[in-house]
A and B are shown apart, each in its own frame.
Chain A
Amino acid sequence: MKRPKSIGSIKAFEESLPGAPPEAHYSLRLFITGTTPRCVRAIKNIRAICEDNLPGRYELEVIDIYQHPEQAKPEQIVVTPTLVKKLPLPHRRMIGDLSDNERVLAGLDIIPVSGPVKLTGSGHGS
């Protein structure tokens, strides 16, 4: 294991954080089960977040595991809806209908560029 090199300033520290470089390309996969209200919400929410924060540099693939059950195993899908961040590394997963804005952004390693995005929730998220 490499010893981390010593950090001189705050800026250097911020730069060394494993955050996403500003112009990274995002590859996301959303696993849903049909058209339940929860899944519909999830799709809406992730679309909104991506449009607002990653315009033009994301690709979102929506997979319905009812249609494609064989996809569930390789991706280790247990819970739905699940959002899997394939790129940039590291892999992350988010489960739920993605109505908790802060957590989704944190999970995607995105620092919000605009103010709080108006998201449709089921009354549970923030």
Chain B
Amino acid sequence: MRSAKSKITKPKTLLGGIPKCPTGIHGLDEITLGGIPRGRPTLVCGGAGCGKTLLGMEFLVRGATEFDEPGVCLSFEETAAELASNVASLGFDLNALIASKKLSIDHIYLERSLIEETGEYDLEGLFVRLGHAVDSIGAKRVLLDSVEALFAGLENQSILRAELRRLFRWLKDRNLTTIVTGERGQGTLTRHGLEEYLSDCVILLDHEVTETVLTRRLRVVKYRGSTHGMNEYPFLIESDGISVLPVTSMELKYTASTARVSTGVPALDKMFGGAGYFRGSSILVSGTAGTGKTSLTAHFVNAGCARGERCVFFSFEESAEQIMRNMRSIGIDLNRWVEKGLLHFHCVRPTTFGLEMHLLKIHKVIKEFDPSIVVVDPLTGLLHAGTAFETRSILLRLVDFLKEKQISAFLTTLSSGSDAQEQTEIDISSLVDAWLLLRDIESGGERNRGIYILKARGVAHSNQIREFILTNHGVELREVYLGEEGMLTGSARVMQEAKDASSAMAGRQEIERKQLLLKRKRMVLDAQIAALQLDLATEEQESQQLIAQEKLKVTKWERDRGDMADSRSVNQGPPGDGGRAMKVNGGRK
């Protein structure tokens, strides 16, 4: 059940606006800030085939089914059966509603040729029938479609006008919210000037063919007692009723997430200063044909689905099968995500519908599938469906819509390959938060791709170009070489890399050699030191021996001296047998 939401809070100076009746028509309640004025007639006018009757019928049907307000339709042009079959294509079952007393349809028929006007009259019969119908089901909503048929049926216009005035007064007194349809006149809002009596609210419908595409538009010309969206809003008649394209929020009030989302290519994430880019923002990838935008997109999708997030892939150039097959060649299997229900492809040729229809379809798909990631490849495809101006306005609303829903968007555009590569054809670079540029770098007879980040709001991103290579493991980024001639990519880089590798190896080998040399020297020195030490030890030993011997000698000499001295002193003692005794004593001491 859709309920009317007022997106703008009432400013404090208002004492309370007029009460409004939500129509239930998608988008209309937003433009009128709540619906059409309650209890008053609203004029809906437009040319033939604009959708006035459908709008009125949807007003009644939604009133009956969603707001529990039964409605009465006084149809002056079609019978009840015709109406029922006309709106069946919108999914409205009028017969069921009539049977359950939620709706009453009365066909008012005046055939001029069968009537003779014979005097004064009034339209009281109309009032009686209307009153009867309203009372029988307790209706709160009324549709008069289209009252101007009375002007063709009756001669006396002054009576008719007076009665119409009385009718609208009657409706107001009964507090019935009414829609009155009228056919557009030349230069006036209605052919017979109904707008004199119905000045509370006037809605104008229009359809125009521009460059072979039909666009329907709606404009609230007048709304007494309330502010309203004043522009022309495109609308569509789809299989479930009228959709006025949702107005983008008039204030820029989005929440900004700080969570980061990976781009699927780790090197690219690093270029974004870490873990990728912010969730809920939009990244634009532009490049000339064949630079690999779709491949990068596939990485993004793959990474998102791997995290378990739902993703929608809008493609305007290739079919789902083709994209999946192409991505398999770089090692990305998108099919498994489709089977798991995480990835949904929506592929449409841009020339199939008008721009508004595309936007509406996108809205619908997003609403149904509720993704966290949306990919559009390529945006420039939409240019085929409208002018550049219109495309830009559509894209603005799309980007707005995605931001509001906090959906991370990955958009690709095709640049024309001229020098002005930094100006996208539809000039939406200012709308997106990050912009990656894929460039062709031509050098040495080859064309290689480079990628760099032109802008990334809110992150410190790398300002260097990386070479962008598609391998069968996916996208890889390599450091680009800055040689003497400038940037080297492709095979020149490979050559340079080889050269560097070999010189690096040479350097390493040199180091190793030197180290070996040093080792040897050390070993030699060590050996020498060992030899010297050995010598020293030997000498020490010898010296020690000599010293020991000398010491022994000295001790013996001293002892001998002592003995000798003893023996001399023994001899000078008492005379006697000195000679013989001493010899004996001396020998023993």
Contact = CB atoms under 8 A, between A and B. Distances in A.
Contacts of B109: 76
Interface stretch (B63-71, B122-130, B278-286): B122-130
Interface in A83-126: 83, 91-100, 103-104, 106-107, 121-122, 124-125
Which size class do B's interface residues fall under?
20 to 34
A95 B163 CA distance: 15
A76 B114 CA distance: 12
B213 to A, nearest CB: 42
A72 interface: yes
B148 to A, nearest CB: 14
A109 to B, nearest CB: 11
Contacts of B132: 69-70, 72-73
B110 A98 contact: no
Interface string B108-128: 111000111111111111101
Contacts of B124: 33, 65, 79-80
B144 to A, nearest CB: 13
B381 to A, nearest CB: 54
Contacts of A81: 121
B116 A33 contact: no
Interface in B128-159: 128-129, 131-132, 150, 154
Contacts of A38: 120-122
Contact of A96 (B108, B110, B118, B126): B118
A96 B119 contact: yes
B317 interface: no
Contacts, number: 103
Given A73-B106, A76-B108, A100 B119 contact: yes
Nearest to A81: B121
A42 B131 CA distance: 24
A107 B123 CA distance: 20
A78 B526 CA distance: 129
Nearest to B108: A78
B115 A95 contact: yes
A79 B156 CA distance: 12
A93 B114 contact: yes
B125 A80 contact: yes
Nearest to A119: B119
Given A31-B125, A65-B125, A95 B106 contact: no
Contacts of A96: 117-121
B521 to A, nearest CB: 122
18 contacts: A33-B124, A38-B120, A38-B121, A41-B119, A42-B119, A65-B125, A69-B131, A78-B123, A79-B122, A79-B154, A81-B121, A83-B118, A91-B114, A93-B114, A93-B115, A94-B116, A94-B117, A96-B120
Given A72-B129, A96-B121, 16 more contacts: A33-B122, A33-B124, A38-B121, A42-B119, A65-B128, A70-B132, A73-B132, A82-B121, A93-B115, A95-B117, A96-B118, A100-B118, A103-B116, A106-B116, A122-B120, A125-B119
Interface of B: 106, 108-110, 114-126, 128-129, 131-132, 150, 154
